Amino acid sequence: MPRYALKIEYDGAPFAGWQRQKTAPSVQATVEAALTRLEPDLPAIAAAGRTDAGVHATAQVVHCDMARDWDAFRLSEALNYHLKPAPIAILAAAKVDPGFHARFSALGRHYLYRLQSRRAPLTLDRGQVWRVNHRLDIAAMQTAAADLIGRHDFTTFRSTHCQARSPEKTLDRIDISATEIPHGTEYRFRLSARSFLHNQVRSIVGTLERIGAGNWPVEAMKSALDAKDRTACGPVAPPDGLYLIGVDYQPDPFAAIG
């Protein structure tokens, strides 16, 4: 059966996460329903990351096995037609080697977290960012974040429901930037690693917010990391502001697509 990689964008707000659920809508089930409109006996699809309820993606990657030898562009167009009106779009499709696996072939994953500081309630960005009504000290957050780079035991920043075999992960990058917006400031947190623990990004951002707000000292990040204790973590940031923005493969299955 020919195997295809799909690059997918979605608004996670209406869904109970990526993974198929028995009693709630999921991104996986919605994409699979569109695929079965093309081929009724389609096997289950696999994704690079199982995003939680309310989490978005600009570059989720999945693979699917089709009975027919589809032209990749026609496959993406057909899927986009059948996905209407769900807030999901197939950005690109590519035929890949049968050994390609969206999850296990991934060499790196990249996440963005958006946080806005403004007094007024959100309107256009509602459900897309985390809003706080106080400014944050970006220098303090950048200093605290530096303690997380490298390989560590991230038990403190791991959900109690995490199914990973080990709490040890290597965080390759964490960058924090601030941009002035009308009536406020948007802070952007970009994190990269080969893989992440369940709730790791949101736990880190929630802790950094407490430091940026001045409620916790800069040193609290290192203390929380060293504690290897979930109770040492700050509040978990809400899912609204989190986006899966990229997955690395070698070779890149979408490299030839403009």
| Catalytic positions, written as ranges | 52
Query: H or E segment at 37?
Result: helix 27-38
Structure tokens at 177: 């930037």
- Candidates 59, 57, 53, 95; CA nearest to 248 is 59
* Cβ–Cβ under 8 Å, residues 45 and 86: no
Cβ neighbors of 48 (< 8 A, separation 6 or more) are 60, 61, 62, 102, 103, 106, 109, 244, 247
- CA dist 203 and 256 (Å) reads 36
Per the DSSP assignment, residues forming a β-bridge with 153 are 168
Q: Is 231 exposed, middle or buried (0-12, 13-18, 19+ CB in 10 A)?
A: exposed
Is 138 within 8 Å of 178 (Cβ atoms)?
yes
